[in-house]
């Protein structure tokens, strides 16, 4: 993962990249960040690529936050 990508995230979100962000489907945080940087900019697109949120959606808020940091910030430039 590109260090610039990580720098867009607040320090608290830069941790635990190799842990499951979506525990229901064992999707690593790293894989979700990669999906976002590769063009999945909505929960639906991330679900289609990684299966994250496909369970109880308990990870949805965290993923929305990642999208906000990685995509919405980028669009402001
Ligand atoms: S942790 Fe992702 S759907 Fe439950």
- Average pLDDT value over all residues in the chain: 93
CA angle 69, 12, 7 (to 5 degrees): 50
pLDDT band at 75 (very low <50, low <70, confident <90, very high): low
Best mutation site among 24, 26, 50, 62 for ligand 1 pocket (most ligand atoms within 8 Å of CB): 24
Question: In this predicted structure, which of 9-18, 22-31, 46-55, 64-73 has the lowest mean pLDDT?
Answer: 64-73
pLDDT tens by residue, 36-45: 999 999 999 9
- Cβ atoms of 26 and 55 closer than 8 Å: no
User: Residue with the nearest Cα to atom 1 of ligand 1?
Assistant: 22
The number of the ligand 1 atom at minimal distance from the alpha carbon of 58 is 4
pLDDT at 49 over 60: yes
Indicate the pTM of the whole model: 0.91
Extract the tokens encoding 69.
């940091």
- Contacts for 73 with CB less than 8 Å, ≥ 6 apart: 8
Q: What's the confidence (pLDDT) of residue 76?
A: 60
């Amino acid at each position: 993962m590109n260090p610039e990508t990580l720098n867009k995230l607040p320090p608290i979100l830069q941790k635990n990249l190799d842990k499951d962000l979506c525990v229901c489907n064992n999707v690593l945080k790293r894989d979700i960040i990669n999906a976002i940087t590769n063009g999945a900019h909505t929960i639906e697109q991330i679900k289609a690529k990684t299966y994250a949120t496909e369970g109880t959606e308990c990870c949805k808020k965290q993923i929305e936050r990642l999208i906000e940091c990685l995509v919405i910030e980028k669009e402001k430039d």
